[in-house]
Each structure stands twice: as structure tokens, then as C-alpha cells.
């Protein structure tokens, strides 16, 4: 989709006057105009052909209006609601990490083979439409940035029906109080934003099993449709199956919760949190560092509000609930 970024202009350095742009007059009388034109065309063709040059054929390409030779790529765009995306800035002349925001959530940047890369997500509860991705950075000592439109599109994740005991739907006053206390702890964990990126490479599957209830699916519970879609992926696995961290991180919360049962929350840095529900056993403690694919962090179970043994695995990116499978795919080529 073609659009015009809304940008704010660069603040020129006081000790350096603004550079003039455009084709300059040929020096001296009689200089053939076709020579100047040929030189201009040659430079334009070279820029278009160069690996880091203008790539108009890339659907994710977004030009920086103050720096036409640079690139701002948003992939994918349009973006499915509930999916993650990445924005990449060429790092030529950009020595400090850019900053950004999307849907009032911060976007943090780190270096990859492609340049400065930031990850963001379209929360599963967003509506179709257009939202701006705001970027700010310093290039060659000058302030630059802009607002780039991201188109959000609906995705049909399907629907399922389950039956649970009425006591797990119509909570007693004691259960309501318990659930409210636990929500305070969980909300605090999900608000964790560590400045350092703790992970690298492709995320792994947390358990050796297939997904039997996908992210985003609507649930009809005891015949009543839940207005909130499924905010994770359920893996069908037997009780006792080992669960491993898909990436390096720090355990920030463990506990036995009313809805989620035995649960683990892991901070991977820069607002990226993963969670693991309904475990039969928790094998880690709060504050512990865990390594990607290392020793099990827990065992699959059927604790909390469940109909059978499985692992619920969720991914939050700065508060946005996103599809774990789509996020794993997004990470598959970031650091190669």
C-alpha cells in the first residue's frame, strides 16, 4: 500500500549550514547540458541498482522523507490483527538506537544483519484500520523520523466450544477475590520492561507436541461465547511432558493461579514476555535465569481451569497479545 509518511524535519547543526539540493548549474559558459544530465542519470541508476539503494519493488519499503536514499522497512504491512511485525532502518549514519511507538506501546531497537531492527505487535483486540508507527532517530548528527502508516486487517482465527464446571464460570466471592489478587501480580509481571535484549536467534517450541487450540480462536464456554479471543496457543501433551524455555530470559513470576493453574512468566528483555500455564510442576524460581532449550522449566499438567492436560503458551510484546507461532516465524531469520 502506497502512503506518504508524516515526518518532522531534521534539526541542522549550528556549525554546519544546510546543504543545498538539486542539480547545480554547470561550471563555465558552454558546458554541455547533456553531460550534466547524463551524470545525474548515472547516479540515479547506480543508487537503484546498489544493494543498499532504493528498492521500490519491496512492499515493505518506506522512504524516509528527509533522507530519500535511506530505508525504513515495515514487514509485513498490511498486518494481521494479533500478529507481530518488524521495522528495519539502515544503520548507515545511525549510531544510537532509534526509538519508536505503536498503539501507545514502545518499540525497542537492536542491531541485526539488516540494520537497526524493532519489533511490535497488533494486539488481538484491535480493530481493522490504520495506526501510525512513530520513529525518531539521529542520522549523521541530525534529528530525523516520522510517522508511518500500518494497515491492520482482520484475520478469522475460528471458534471452539468447551464445557467446564459452573463453579469455574460463575465464581464464588472467595474465588473472585482470589482471581483479583492474582491479576494484580500478573499485570505487574506483564508490565516488566527490561532495557537489555536477553535473547537471540529463532524461538523454539516450548514443548514437543502439536497445537490443538490455536491463538485468536473464540471460545464458546458452556454455550456462551467469550468476547475475548484465545490469547495463546494450546499444545496437546501428556501430564509430565517437559516444558523448556524457547529463548533465554529471566523468570519474573511463578505461582498457582485460579484460571491458569501452575504458571511461569519469563522476561526476555525489551518488553517481551512469555508465559506457560496449567503445569503439573514448576521447576524454576522467581529471578532465575533460564537458557534457550536447556533444562525443563516445568512439566505439562492440567491445573487451573482446564478440560484436560495441555500447555498454554502465550507471548506478550510490550503488552500486545500476539500469535506465538507467527512470532516464532518472525524470529527465524533475524540474527542470521
Architecture of domain 6-12+27-153: Sandwich (2.60)
Q: In the chain, what are the domain boundaries? A: 6-12+27-153, 159-331
- Residue with the three cell numbers 500455564: 277
Per-residue pLDDT tens for 118-167?
999 999 999 999 999 999 999 888 999 999 999 999 988 877 777 777 77
Q: Confirm whether pTM is higher than 0.75.
A: yes
The fold of the 159-331 domain, in CATH, is: Glucose Permease (Domain IIA) (2.70.70)
Answer whether 6-12+27-153 and 159-331 agree in fold: no
CA distances for 231 relative to 50, 51, 127, 133, angstroms = 43, 39, 16, 23
What cell numbers appear for 201 in the block?
A: 536467534
Per-residue pLDDT tens for 35-63?
344 444 443 434 333 333 333 334 444 44
Separation between Cα atoms, residue 45 and residue 331, nearest integer Å: 34
Separation between Cα atoms, residue 201 and residue 248, nearest integer Å: 10
The pLDDT mean for the chain works out to: 81
Residue 218 pLDDT: 80
Residue 70 parent element (H or E): strand 67-75
Tell me which residue of 108, 97, 94 sits closest to 141, measured CA to CA: 94
Residue 114 pLDDT: 85
What cell numbers appear for 38 in the block?
A: 547524463
| Contact call for residues 168 and 162 (beta carbons, < 8 A) | no
Tell me which residue of 132, 123, 130 sits closest to 152, measured CA to CA: 130
Amino acid at each position: 500500500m502506497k502512503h506518504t509518511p508524516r515526518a518532522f524535519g531534521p534539526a541542522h547543526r549550528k556549525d554546519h549550514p544546510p546543504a543545498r539540493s538539486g542539480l547545480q548549474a554547470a561550471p563555465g559558459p558552454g558546458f554541455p547540458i547533456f553531460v550534466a544530465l547524463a551524470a545525474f542519470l548515472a547516479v540515479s541508476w547506480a543508487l537503484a541498482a546498489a544493494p543498499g539503494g532504493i528498492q521500490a519493488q519491496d512492499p515493505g519499503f518506506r522512504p524516509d522523507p528527509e533522507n530519500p536514499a535511506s530505508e525504513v522497512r515495515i514487514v509485513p504491512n498490511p498486518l494481521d490483527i494479533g500478529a507481530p511485525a518488524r521495522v528495519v532502518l539502515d544503520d548507515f549514519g545511525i549510531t544510537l538506537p532509534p526509538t519508536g511507538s505503536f498503539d501507545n506501546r514502545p518499540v525497542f531497537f537492536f542491531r541485526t544483519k539488516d540494520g537497526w531492527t524493532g519489533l511490535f505487535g497488533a494486539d488481538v483486540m484491535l480493530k481493522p484500520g490504520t495506526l501510525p508507527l512513530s520513529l525518531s532517530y539521529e542520522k549523521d548528527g541530525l534529528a530525523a523520523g516520522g510517522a508511518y502508516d500500518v494497515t491492520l486487517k482482520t484475520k478469522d482465527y475460528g471458534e471452539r466450544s468447551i464445557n467446564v464446571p459452573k463453579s469455574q464460570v460463575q465464581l464464588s466471592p472467595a474465588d473472585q477475590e482470589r482471581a483479583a489478587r492474582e491479576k494484580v501480580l500478573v499485570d505487574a509481571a506483564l508490565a516488566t520492561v527490561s532495557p537489555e535484549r536477553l535473547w537471540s536467534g529463532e524461538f523454539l517450541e516450548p514443548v514437543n507436541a502439536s497445537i490443538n487450540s490455536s491463538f485468536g480462536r473464540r471460545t464458546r464456554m458452556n454455550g456462551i461465547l467469550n468476547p475475548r479471543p484465545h490469547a495463546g496457543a494450546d499444545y496437546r501433551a501428556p501430564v509430565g511432558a517437559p516444558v523448556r524455555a524457547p529463548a533465554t530470559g529471566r523468570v519474573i513470576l511463578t505461582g498457582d493461579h485460579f484460571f491458569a493453574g501452575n504458571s511461569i512468566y519469563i522476561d526476555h528483555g525489551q518488553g517481551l514476555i512469555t508465559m506457560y500455564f496449567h503445569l503439573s510442576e514448576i521447576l524454576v524460581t522467581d529471578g532465575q535465569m533460564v537458557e534457550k532449550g536447556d533444562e525443563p522449566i516445568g512439566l505439562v499438567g492440567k491445573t487451573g481451569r482446564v478440560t484436560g492436560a495441555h500447555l498454554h503458551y502465550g507471548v506478550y510484546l510490550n503488552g500486545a497479545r500476539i500469535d506465538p507461532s507467527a512470532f516464532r516465524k518472525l524470529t527465524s531469520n533475524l540474527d542470521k
